[in-house]
Structure 1
Amino acid sequence: MEIVEIRQELHLLRLAFGQAYLWNDAGALTLIDTGIATSGDEIAEAIGRLGLRTDAVRRVVLTHYHEDHCGGAAAVAAWGEVEVLAHRAEAPVIRGEVPAPPPDFTDEERALHRDLGAHLLPPAPPCRVDRELEDGDLIAFGGGPRVIATPGHTAGSIAVHLPRAGVLFTGDTVAHVNGQVMPGVFNLDRPELLRSFRRLAGLDAQVACVGHGDPVMDARTALGRAAALTAP
């Protein structure tokens, strides 16, 4: 597990599989995504290495229900007074009430999924969702970020935009692979994902914290260039 400082108040946690982001508001912590089901201990270790405590986690924001993003949520939610937030369309899957629909793989994605062994990820334990989010909702951290609905990867995928800080958490709508900024893969509806990608490219963001890959610097320019290649 690796900790990468993006800013003094923002760290990327590279987990054994997947990644999460930790935002620190003067000791009050917010996690964006939680890795796979075995990631709770890794996240706790990272928080300790930063000189913080797990009972300082105030909320977990889940960008979508895939196992590599919400798998550790149940463990983190048990640490104390932790509020779990996700889009209303994701909440029934995260709670374990309904199964997740499978992605609509392209042939290339099917082979990639097999090669990555992604189908072998441990299932995410059911986790409560305390607040069901909608497009435009505000969240109480980092100066009041806004929820951006980004359907396509899943029906209720979200991004979180912190305009004062110039930070955008994209979930899997955006990926950054081998230095290339691109739309995410393994989607329910790729045309809808591309529309969401273009929406994010229009936001004023200096840093895009993506679901997979390094954070994207000069994000508005980089996303804008990538979005131009997806124009209908």
Structure 2
Amino acid sequence: MDLTQVSPTVWQLAFPVGHVYFVRLADGYALIDTAVPGSTPTILNALTRLGGRSRNLRQIVLTHSHIDHMGSAADLVEATGARVLAGALDAPVISGTAAELEPAYTAPERALHEQIMAGFAEADVRPLQHVAVDVELHDGDTVDDWSEPVHVLHVPGHTPGSIALHLASSGVLFPGDIVATMEGRAILGPFNVDRNQAIASFRRLASLEVEALCVPHGEPVLKDAGEVLRAAAPETDWL
């Protein structure tokens, strides 16, 4: 898989479904999301390419509870001992003590979801393994040990406990699945439990000062990402 440098401290590791991001810390690395189950060897190989070892993965931040984001978290924790951080409202789903809510699919979203599930079946993606959440994150929290301040935003709609991370000083935004990109445009991420809430969360993120947009689906926007977000029309997507 390709490693793309987003900023001096951030790299994207691309996957067919659900990209992940490495962030260099003072004493190791944080990982934003973990792709589908079975992705651990690829992620650890990428960590090695960045000059780290398994013990250098300190944090795993899960933007939400879906399989293409938390899928390899349990294996990575076992391999590295990293702490898991996630939004407080999604933490029970991630740990397996609450059930995942079904999205309210539009017709185009349902067709896309069926296509993705068929691809998972063809690739023999392993069943999801739950993992304990060490730190539950809330709106307005900060995350320790990063090289610059990182602000947590509760951005519900895709899931009840979806979070985004904003590195204000460098202008880097990890929006989770509230935002995707397609053909250079920012679009509303599909498969939302509450579409209107997701649109409101998208608009909140579009109000931030953002230079680089680190989306899990689509290509990252490496320059003038705020303008791309503000030019979007999420109300018209997936109808």
Normalising by the smaller structure, the TM-score range is over 0.9
Mapped to 1, the partners of 2:158 and 2:133 lie a distance apart of 20
Relative CO higher for 1 or 2, CA cutoff 8 Å, sep ≥ 6? 2
Mapped to 2, the partners of 1:15 and 1:220 lie a distance apart of 24
Mapped to 2, the partners of 1:169 and 1:142 lie a distance apart of 16
SS in 1 for 2:175: strand
1:35-114 equivalence runs, <5 A: 35-114=35-114
Higher strand share: 1
Letter in 2 for 1:78: E
In the TM superposition, what whole-angstrom CA distance separates every residue of 1:196-226 from its partner, at most 9, and x where no partner exists?
0000000111111012011123111110111
Mapped to 2, the partners of 1:38 and 1:20 lie a distance apart of 14
Query: Structure 2 residue aligned with 1:223, among 222, 226, 229?
Result: 229
Aligned residues: 230
* 2:160 paired with 1:155: yes
Mapped to 1, the partners of 2:150 and 2:10 lie a distance apart of 14
Mapped to 2, the partners of 1:146 and 1:185 lie a distance apart of 24
Matching residue of 1:33: 33
Matching residue of 2:171: 166
SS in 2 for 1:172: helix
8 Å CA contact 1:16, 1:39 repeated in 2: no
Matching residue of 2:134: 130
In the TM superposition, residue 153 of structure 1 has moved relative to its aligned partner by 0.4
In the TM superposition, residue 74 of structure 1 has moved relative to its aligned partner by 0.7
Q: Which runs of 5+ in 2 are unaligned?
A: none
Mapped to 2, the partners of 1:129 and 1:143 lie a distance apart of 23
Matching residue of 1:176: 181
Matching residue of 1:199: 204
SS in 2 for 1:191: helix
8 Å CA contact 2:57, 2:82 repeated in 1: yes
Out of 192-201 and 9-18, give the one that drifted further.
Answer: 9-18
User: RMSD of the TM alignment (CA)?
Assistant: 1.6
Q: Which runs of 5+ in 1 are unaligned?
A: none
In the TM superposition, residue 155 of structure 1 has moved relative to its aligned partner by 0.4
8 Å CA contact 2:87, 2:161 repeated in 1: yes
In the TM superposition, what whole-angstrom CA distance separates every residue of 1:20-66 from its partner, at most 9, and x where no partner exists?
00001245200000001111111001111222112111101100000
Mapped to 2, the partners of 1:190 and 1:145 lie a distance apart of 27
Mapped to 1, the partners of 2:147 and 2:182 lie a distance apart of 27
In the TM superposition, residue 144 of structure 1 has moved relative to its aligned partner by 2.1
Letter in 1 for 2:168: P
Out of 201-210 and 19-28, give the one that drifted further.
Answer: 19-28
